[in-house]
Amino acid sequence: MATFPPYPTYPSGPAGPGGPVGGARRPAHWWQRKWVRYGALITLLTLSGLVILALVREQTGTEGFLVGLGLAVLPVPLLIAAFRWLDRVAPGPWRNLLFSFAWGACAAALIAIVANSFATRWIATATADPTSADTLGATVIAPVVEETAKAAAILLIFLFRRRDFTGIVDGVVIAGVTATGFAFTENILYLGTAFGTDQLSGDSGLASVTAATFFVRVIMSPFAHPLFTVLTGIGFGIAALSADRHHVRRVLLPLSGLLLAMGMHALWNGSSAFGEFGFFAVYAAFMVPAFGLLTWLVIWTRQRELRTVRDELPAYAVAGWLTPPEPYVLGNMKARRLAREYAGHHFGRDAARSVAEYEAYATSLAFLRHRGRQGRANADFVVRERELLFELWHRREIARPSLAYAARATAPVPMPMPMPPAAWPGHGHGNGYGYGNGNGGGYGGYVPMYGAVHGSGGGPAATHPAYNPYQS
């Protein structure tokens, strides 16, 4: 188990997150450099996008491609906005979402088209039964190939952007955005092909194949692919909540989620084999309830995250890193929004951005402490905690007035203006416990992860590692 030393003292100079922690680092090999990895990834996604563009255009024609593109893009902003709304408590960086969408739309779609076509043709040749090959390809091959291809994006972020992947909500958001990109490309293909069919048959309007395809894929079930892949994301999210030493659990949980995603995908694709109304029966009996259940789960998880923020941050207020009202404000979405609006109105757009960053770093700090208290922290707990405190400390002058305003505006009872740290009760030198004076007054005595301290004036308490109940 990782060992948790006491709170660090105030940052005393420019040596912050990038400063030396454990001695000089070894120079990285050329293939380990960040720009090399990013360049290779961008090249891969670009080539995949160009190839998938050519394949889809070849099957639909230029006119069909443009029509399919115009219709397929309609649900994308709504789905992205919905997943971004779910991620508002601790929003992940946009680069992760851009990568997820690009992987789904380009790499995963290309893998699916090539693998599904090859497998279906091989089965048709081996069995001499093209109809059965198409059915088998749709109900067995496609779910396995497509869900595995989409899961690769979640796995890459889980492995290489681990700090951004902390729980169920992160898994849901990354999986949902990846599947949204995949569905976007797939809808272009289906809608473009339907438009080409209507051009040959002369059908138009509501009786056309294009209208029927649009109704089923864009109106009725825009959430189908995200719903399947979200099951994989939940598996990765639960694995992210497990300690690093639980190797078996961290492998089995994502695999279980992936198998569930494949099963639901197969049920959805095979619904047409259940009779004339098989599609509607599966839609009503499985898809809608599953969508409602997963929506409830994610919203409940988001509320739980807010409770974690309110429960964990008071310890940092006790130590002097935060003002007393901040844990309440940072654990309330309305108060957080008011703080950003206040900063933007009175201090400008850059100030609003700084307040948003302050809120994000404080939330990450609360999650980090929560994992530490439950014995699930990684070995870099101390380094990461100091990085987050450093980021908060350098934004405090801009963020604190806005957070104080939000506290007064949303508090259930009127709150006084917060006192500056120098005027807080218990501030100064003494022999009390925690962040307090010689009488143990003020905020002394509540630093649950750490032991008794001697307060000293001028900054947050520097504690002694005399007692740590979370060491093993």
Q: Is the pLDDT of residue 422 over 70?
A: no
Q: What mean pLDDT is predicted for residues 146-168?
A: 91
pLDDT for the residue numbered 163: 82
Q: In degrees rounded to 5, what are phi and psi of residue 440?
A: 70, 25
Q: How far apart are CA 445 and CA 470, in angstroms?
A: 18
Residues 6+ apart with CB under 8 A from 317: 323, 324, 326, 327, 443
pLDDT for the residue numbered 66: 94
Confidence band (pLDDT; 50, 70, 90) for 26?
low
**Which amino acid would we find at residue 327?**
P
Pair 230, 294: CB distance under 8 Å: yes
pLDDT per residue as tens digits for the range 288-344: 999 999 889 888 988 999 999 999 999 999 988 999 999 999 999 999 999 999 999
Residues 6+ apart with CB under 8 A from 421: 320, 323, 427
Q: What mean pLDDT is predicted for residues 215-227?
A: 92
pLDDT for the residue numbered 21: 44
Confidence band (pLDDT; 50, 70, 90) for 166?
confident
Which residue's structure tokens are 């454990």?
22
**Coil, strand, or helix at residue 435?**
strand
- Which residues face 435 on adjacent strands? 443
**Which amino acid would we find at residue 208?**
S
pLDDT for the residue numbered 31: 56
Quote the tokens at residue 453: 């301290």
Q: What mean pLDDT is predicted for residues 435-452?
A: 35
Q: What mean pLDDT is predicted for residues 257-270?
A: 94
Residues 6+ apart with CB under 8 A from 280: none
**Which amino acid would we find at residue 47?**
L
Q: Is the pLDDT of residue 441 over 70?
A: no
pLDDT for the residue numbered 431: 35
Q: How far apart are CA 245 and CA 270, in angstroms?
A: 40
Q: How far apart are the first and last CA of the chain?
A: 6
DSSP 456-470: -TTSS----TT--TT
Q: How far apart are CA 200 and CA 151, in angstroms?
A: 38
**What value does the mean pLDDT of the chain take?**
81
Q: What mean pLDDT is predicted for residues 380-395?
A: 90
Residues 6+ apart with CB under 8 A from 198: 204, 208, 209, 210
Residues, the chain: 472
Pair 287, 230: CB distance under 8 Å: no
Q: Is the pLDDT of residue 234 over 90?
A: yes
Q: Is the pLDDT of residue 108 over 90?
A: yes
Given CA atoms 428, 430, 435, 440 in this order, what sign does their dihedral have? negative
Quote the tokens at residue 241: 């909540």
Q: Is the pLDDT of residue 438 over 70?
A: no
pLDDT for the residue numbered 424: 43
Under DSSP, the state recorded for 443 is B
Q: How far apart are CA 389 and CA 391, in angstroms?
A: 5
Cβ density class 441-456: b for 16+ within 10 Å, e for less: ebbbbebebbeebebe
CA dist list (Å): 334 to 159, 178, 307, 308 = 33, 29, 14, 16
pLDDT for the residue numbered 406: 93
pLDDT for the residue numbered 150: 97
pLDDT per residue as tens digits for the range 388-410: 999 999 999 999 999 999 999 98
CA dist list (Å): 104 to 28, 76, 169 = 30, 12, 19
